[in-house]
Amino acid sequence: MSTIEGKVIIITGASSGIGEATAKKFAREGGKVVLAARREDRLQTLKEAIEQEGGEAVIKVTDVTSYSEVEELAEFAIDTYGQIDVMFNNAGLMPLSFMDKLKIDEWDRMVDVNVKGVLYGIAAVLPHMQERNSGHIITTSSVAGHNVFPSGTVYSGTKFAARIFMEGLSKELAQTNIKTTSISPGVVQTELASFITDPDIKPRFEDPNIPSLTSEDVANAVYYAASQPDGVAVNEIIVRPTNQG
Ligand code: NDP
């Protein structure tokens, strides 16, 4: 039996890309997935696809920039399934631009989703996990959470923050059975780059020949971390295309 069988997993950013692929992977392995994002139609389509394969999923429209909505998401998961075993803070934005373009609105949105959204995800599940002395918080950071590159300065800052939240929390929770993991993917073929508005950056990410992973490759890494037995914590995974420089 899979160690994920019967476990309850909340996934933010489940409406596309890495979140969607992870939801399918966990559902195939017998997990009960709680799908969260803003686009209800995409969540509904995913739920139906999972159910057609015999899996179990529910949806909750959630904007992770609202703490009350993230709190309601956690309450919904507990009301529906009785517990939360894994919180996957995966929702994120990457509108890359050089800092001197002063795209303040995009900086705000990245901080709100990639930083505050992760903190809200932690806050919404931590008391429940502490009460049970069990649980796993997984957050999607990035290779940009390890190294900064021109045009990625603000994005990198948010991804460093996301990774450090996992590392610090793991130290604070060392006396408990609660685990944390950062997943740091390299380039993954998803919709993420489609929101870049800086014309100096956009073409670089539209090149179909850039070595890239699939969302399923990253889902496998998330699954690896989540499926370890009690007592084994995989705190950090970097997963990159073999040919990414
Ligand atoms: P996608 O654009 O496919 O997915 C992003 C997801 O985030 C969508 O489901 C979107 O759903 C959700 N989202 C965005 N804003 C909000 C919000 N305010 N509230 C709730 N959900 C939100 O890209 P990826 O799958 O690639 O991105 C997933 C994560 O992976 C991100 O954190 C990204 O930074 C990270 N990452 C991606 C890499 C890549 O190369 N693709 C590399 C390294 C890390 P909706 O719009 O429906 O709300």
Residue-wise pLDDT tens digits, 195-215: 899 898 888 887 878 899 999
What is the predicted pLDDT for the residue at 2?
74
Q: Which of 24, 46, 73, 94 to mutate to test the pocket of ligand 1 (most atoms within 8 A of CB)?
A: 94
Check residue 204 and give its pLDDT. Answer: 81
Q: What is the 3-state secondary structure (H, E, C) of 111-172?
A: HHHHHHHHHHHHHHHHHHHHHHCCEEEEEECCHHHCCCCCCCHHHHHHHHHHHHHHHHHHHH
- Tens digits of per-residue pLDDT, 181-199? 999 999 999 999 888 998 9
Which residues are the active-site residues? 155
Output the CA 185–ligand 1 centroid distance in Å: 12
Task: Report which DSSP code applies to 48.
Answer: H
Residue 133 has pLDDT above 90, yes or no: yes
| Ligand 1 center from residue 35 Cα (angstroms) | 13
Q: Who's near 20: CB < 8 A, 6+ residues apart?
A: 14, 42, 46, 215
The CB of 16 under 6 Å from ligand 1? The reply is yes
Testing ligand 1's pocket by substitution, the residue of 15, 217, 240 carrying the most ligand atoms inside 8 A of its CB is 15
The residue contributing the CA closest to ligand 1 atom 32 is 92
User: For residue 116, what are its two tokens?
Assistant: 């505050």
Q: What is the pLDDT of residue 208?
A: 79
What integer pLDDT is reported at residue 130 of this predicted model? 98
The pLDDT value recorded for residue 207 is 81
Residue nearest atom 2 of ligand 1, based on CA coordinates: 192
Distance CA 169, CA 225 (A): 16
Q: What is the pLDDT of residue 87?
A: 99
Distance 231 CA to ligand 1 centre (A): 30
Cβ atoms of 46 and 20 within 8 Å: the answer is yes
Is the pLDDT assigned to residue 1 strictly greater than 70? no
Quick one: tokens of 64?
Answer: 């992770």
Q: pLDDT over 70 for what percent of the chain?
A: 100
Distance CA 106, CA 97 (A): 9
Contact 46, 61 (CB under 8 A): no
Task: From 63, 29, 64, 27, select the one nearest 46 (Cα to Cα).
Answer: 27
pLDDT tens-digit series, residues 63-91 = 999 999 999 999 999 999 999 999 999 99
Task: Show Cβ contacts of residue 225 under 8 Å, excluding neighbours closer than 6 positions.
Answer: 136, 138, 181, 183, 234, 237
Mean pLDDT of the chain: 96
Distance CA 195, CA 93 (A): 8
C-alpha atoms less than 13 angstroms from C-alpha of 33 in its C-beta half-sphere: 34
Kindly provide the ipTM of the predicted complex, given to two decimals.
0.99
Atom number in ligand 1 closest to CA 140:
32
Helix (H) or strand (E) holding 10: strand 8-12
* Residue 245, pLDDT above cutoff 80: no
For residue 6, pLDDT over 90 is answered with yes
CA 87/CA 229 separation, integer angstroms: 17
**pLDDT by residue (tens digit) across 147-178?**
999 999 999 999 999 999 999 999 999 999 99
| Ligand 1 centre distance from Cα of residue 92 (Å) | 4
Does the CB atom of residue 188 touch ligand 1 within 6 A?
Answer: yes
